[in-house]
Structure 1
């Protein structure tokens, strides 16, 4: 699964990376601990080029009767998106990219859960495959939400967790955002594990388990953290998830 991630680059870097001429995000800042139910940057294709805006993380499909379901749909399995007609529609017409520069996963060893950060070897921005939808309440207010698609883990991720987010390379990014591509079978073929070789994983502080912690210190390798006063000493750290 994917329940936390990081996006620490500037808005200018984001716009350059995705060839966006204009962005609708009013308040943007680097985020070292992105969590579900937050508004997050997302890229959507259009006839006039890529658009960068915000979607709330946690999918509420248009047909849903309960907007609270978003907290349960932060991830969708690639197998589910491909098999269920209600999600096939979103796969065909409501695709987005979630830009990240790393994501967190917890590795369980006995009774201990050690958070790991997974990044590209060159620490570059990369793209997670997502779908989105717009839910409208009885008063006509709109809620735009999204979910990150997951697939089987690569060799790198398998010892940490059996699932990983779908990561798109530069070629598949173009196909994923192409609104003229509506063939579910062709799109499903893009939802595969990303190769392990371009990526690396390293342990980070358990302080990342608390969504209130959001600073660049969360990115530091755990051994480096050990040489400093423990973050838990602040009294604001809960037990990791």
Structure 2
């Protein structure tokens, strides 16, 4: 499942797409400029704390103290609300990841071709996320996971699962501390973007290395687009 995405526009652009750029947030028009965000790094995360929206640098990955394996980076939307490991995060740690695209790898025999997936109108995307709140510790390693969607919402030509991309109009309710866990489950089922809103094309294998951060990473390779 998704292990790379792009977050390259400015915070102002993402917040403006949510209609909250004129709030008390301190404006920052500087592009984030990350074309190849990898797990194990801090990512700008939108969350609500004490009734106010916050932007925090949060570690992408989650593993509690008893977890003796590498940190997890995704959580299945179908089971996260009820699982032993993720239920507390679903109930009290819902968040949103700003993004412009994400990458998936399609297997063809022994080869894997990376694809860039994005909204067909190139609008910003808002990935549903859950994690260990509060998110005010930039050095914390119990960070966040991106929620994945069932295959019927996925780009089945590329991968049998997709990311759960929220409609901009649903973000505030998803984040709200007043939203019940049950209502959050409904949002995850009803307020996500359909497959028809997306486009995708093959990209260079340079995306394999997180050291590569150039804009060309999400440009179409010589292979044919789907």
With normalisation by structure 2, the TM-score equals 0.83
Tell me the SS of whatever aligns to 2:143. strand
Candidates 57, 61, 69, aligned match of 2:60: 57
Q: 1:123 to 1:107 in 2, by over 3 A?
A: same
Superposed CA RMSD: 2.6
Q: Cα distance 1:93–1:24, how it changes in 2: closer, same or farther (>3 A)? A: farther
Stretches of structure 1 that go unaligned for 5 or more consecutive residues are 136-140, 225-241
Cα deviation digits, residues 149-187 of structure 1 (max 9, x gap): 1121346601111111111002321221111112x2221
CA distance in structure 2 between the partners assigned to 1:162 and 1:6 by the alignment: 21
Report how far residue 85 of structure 1 moved.
3.8
Any residues of structure 2 matched to 1:1-241 within 5 Å, and which? 1-18=1-18, 19=20, 21-22=24-25, 29-61=32-64, 64-65=65-66, 69=69, 71-133=70-132, 142-143=140-141, 145-154=143-152, 157-182=155-180, 184-192=181-189, 194-223=193-222
Q: Is the CA contact (8 Å cut-off) linking 1:7 and 1:100 kept in structure 2?
A: yes
Q: Structure 1 residues 157 and 98, CA, compared in 2 at 3 Å: closer, same or farther?
A: same
2:120 and 2:42 map into 1 onto residues whose CA distance is: 27
Over alpha carbons, which structure has the higher Rg?
Answer: 1
After superposition, give the CA deviation of every residue in 1:40-92 in whole Å (9 maximum; x if it has no partner).
0110024554211111000134xx235x75x4310011133122144222211
Which residue number corresponds to residue 236 of structure 1?
none
Supply the distance in 2 between the matched residues of 1:108 and 1:17 (Cα, whole angstroms). Answer: 34
From the superposition, tell whether residues 171 and 17 of structure 1 become closer, same or farther in structure 2 (CA, over 3 Å): closer
SS in 1 for 2:130: strand
More helix by share: 1
Task: Tell me whether 43-52 or 197-206 shows the greater mean CA deviation.
Answer: 43-52
Equivalent pairs counted in the alignment come to: 213
| Contact kept? 1:154, 1:195, Cα under 8 Å | no
Distance in 2 separating the partners of 1:205 and 1:180: 43
Which range is displaced more, 15-24 or 102-111? 15-24
Classify the secondary structure of the residue corresponding to 2:174. Answer: helix
Question: In structure 2, how many angstroms separate the alpha carbons of the residues matched to 1:93 and 1:12?
Answer: 26
Q: Which moved more, 1:215-224 or 1:35-44?
A: 215-224
Return 5+ residue gaps in structure 2 as ranges. none
1:24/1:52 contact within 8 Å kept? no
